[in-house]
């Protein structure tokens, strides 16, 4: 599977799944715009891409919950490379396991804005550039949007919304040749994972629910993203691909 000649923007690409995906996109031939709230992390990813893959990578600092920032990185992508073929709405934040009555409105709103509103904004500003040429939108959802866990109501709501938004956009944009798919990782071995843990929800308890017996790795998600972004997935749209080791069985 190659992405030769494609231009991709990946949010949350300064670390974890986003960094692995941005690097693999570049290895498979894409030019990549590396978007992250942490500008230094975005620069590190872009530098690693250019050092290892020899591809073109441009770092961008952006808050994906801010409309001006999202419009800005989309416009920068088009200005730098002349087009945007792939938008991977990957940025997200965790929720520490918390009873519903203890979740503040501030926490609830922040999780929805970063995890779900960001995908709306990404599509809003990228789709006009994709309508004439076609394109691919990938949204990082979660198994938590399919099989909820105790204490993660805000997070599960955001990821369930991401799955439904993905299906709606796939239906709405099909006539323009724009494919939209979600990726639903199980608990993934990144720096973010321990932030979910509290009370009875621990990293080990998450691992124990996965039939294949291990956490996902960022590279597992990256390979799924490359497939969905590639021409080999030309007939795949509106799906929520479970990269879950059997968790959702």
Catalytic residues: 155
Give residues with Cβ within 8 angstroms of 186, minimum separation 6: 143, 206, 210, 215, 216, 242, 243, 244, 245, 247
> Which of 186, 206, 189 is closest to 198 using CA atoms?
206
- Whole-Å CA distances, 152 to 148, 171, 217: 7, 29, 21
Residues composing the chain: 249
SS3 216: strand
Give residues with Cβ within 8 angstroms of 119, minimum separation 6: 89, 139, 162, 165, 166
CA 107/CA 155 separation, integer angstroms: 10
């Amino acid at each position: 599977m190659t992405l030769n000649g494609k231009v991709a923007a990946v949010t949350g690409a300064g670390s974890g799944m986003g960094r692995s995906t941005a690097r693999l996109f570049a290895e498979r031939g894409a030019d990549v715009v590396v978007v992250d709230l942490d500008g230094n992390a975005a620069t590190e990813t872009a530098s690693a891409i250019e050092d290892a893959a020899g591809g073109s990578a441009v770092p961008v600092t952006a808050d994906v919950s801010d409309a001006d920032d999202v419009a800005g990185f989309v416009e920068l992508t088009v200005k730098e490379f002349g087009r945007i073929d792939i938008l991977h709405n990957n940025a997200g934040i965790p929720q520490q396991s918390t009873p519903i009555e203890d979740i503040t409105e501030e926490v609830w709103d922040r999780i929805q804005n970063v995890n779900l509103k960001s995908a709306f904004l990404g599509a809003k500003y990228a789709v006009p550039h994709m309508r004439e040429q076609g394109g691919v939108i990938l949204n990082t959802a979660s198994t938590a949007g399919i099989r909820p866990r105790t204490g993660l109501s805000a997070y599960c709501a955001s990821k369930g919304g991401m799955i439904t938004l993905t299906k709606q956009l796939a239906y709405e944009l099909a006539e323009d040749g724009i494919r939209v798919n979600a990726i639903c990782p199980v608990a993934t071995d990144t720096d973010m994972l321990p932030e979910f843990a509290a009370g009875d929800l621990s990293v080990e308890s998450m691992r124990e629910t996965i039939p294949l017996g291990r956490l996902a790795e960022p590279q597992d998600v990256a390979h799924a993203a490359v497939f969905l972004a590639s021409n080999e997935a030309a007939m795949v749209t509106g799906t929520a691909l479970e990269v879950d080791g059997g968790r959702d069985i």
